[in-house]
Structure 1
Amino acid sequence: MSIQFYSYISFPGNAAEAMSYYAEIFGGTAEIMKYGDNPMEGMPFTPPADAVAHAQLEGPVRLAGGDSMAENPDPLDIHNYSFLLYFDSVEEAQEMIEKFTSTGGKVEMPFDLAPWGDHYGQIVDKFGVLWALNVPAQQG
């Protein structure tokens, strides 16, 4: 059996911008398909042509997403999930924190030595997505 795992985010109408942003932050390529790019017959709703039907980031971080088709989509809620990024060094994690904060993200939990021995912190990016950053103790 061969399995690939992608986290999927239903964005409240800004999936194209978010997925392009993640390609810049993490590296890799974002493939973005809008409903108008390939009209689909027989859908149970009529989506806006510029809404993202599916987007996929291929690179060090693999992520998928699209625009929510809810009439009033809920904003992303950082209290229900986080994405955990592991780094080989404290310096690499701090560089990622700088990328996020210099582009509109904010520190949710300062990156520091945690009680369990790892370096750990949390960032909320400009789209409201929570990213936890971790460097294992033996690698700090």
Structure 2
Amino acid sequence: MSGITPYLTIADGRARDAVAFYQDAFGAELVETHDADDGKRLMHAHLRLNGGELMLSDDFPEFHGGQSSAAPGGARLHLSVDDADAVWNRAVAVGAEVTMPLADDQFWGDRYGHIRDPFGQSWSIGAPIRKG
């Protein structure tokens, strides 16, 4: 891995569901997973996504003084893709909520929009607009 690697904490014991969503919505490749000792939660998952890396786990409040470390919507993850509509439509079809419609009128020249996945994480999807 290089650069920054987002690490998401998924609330409510839904990390496995998040892995499946990211695979279905964004074509993520599962690199590895590690189960927690309780046999229920996911201690760690590593995904490859759009040329980058993403890691996530279920919430483990017992490791954080009894407090949840999940922060839904606390950050946005950006995917720069060749075909924003294809990725967008796939994500929405498997449960993403549109929070900013996909549109061509971005000042920097991308077709761009925001979604929220079923686990409270915000995503932006953008693709250069090809003219001519």
Structure 1 and Structure 2 fold alike (TM over 0.5): yes
Partner of 2:8: 9
Segments of structure 2 that go 5 or more residues without pairing to the other structure are none
Q: Give distance in 2, aligned partners of 1:119 and 1:52.
A: 35
Which residue type is aligned with residue 51 of structure 1? R
Partner of 1:31: 32
Q: Give distance in 2, aligned partners of 1:51 and 1:103.
A: 22
Q: Give distance in 2, aligned partners of 1:67 and 1:7.
A: 14
Segments of structure 1 that go 5 or more residues without pairing to the other structure are 37-47
Partner of 1:128: 120
Matched-pair contact (CA < 8 Å) for 1:19–1:30: no
- Secondary structure, in 3 states, of the residue corresponding to 1:101? helix
Partner of 1:51: 41
| Greater Rg over alpha carbons, structure | 1
Q: Percentage identity across aligned positions?
A: 25
Between structures 1 and 2, the one with greater strand share: 2
Deviation of 1:63 after TM superposition, in Å, equals 1.0
Alignment of 1:82-121 (within 5 A): 82-88=76-82, 92-112=83-103, 113-121=105-113
Q: Give distance in 2, aligned partners of 1:104 and 1:11.
A: 16
Count of residues paired in the alignment: 123
Shift in CA distance, 57/72, structure 1 to aligned 2, threshold 3 Å: same
1:66-94 deviations in Å (ceiling 9; x for gaps) = 1111146366432x310111122xxx211
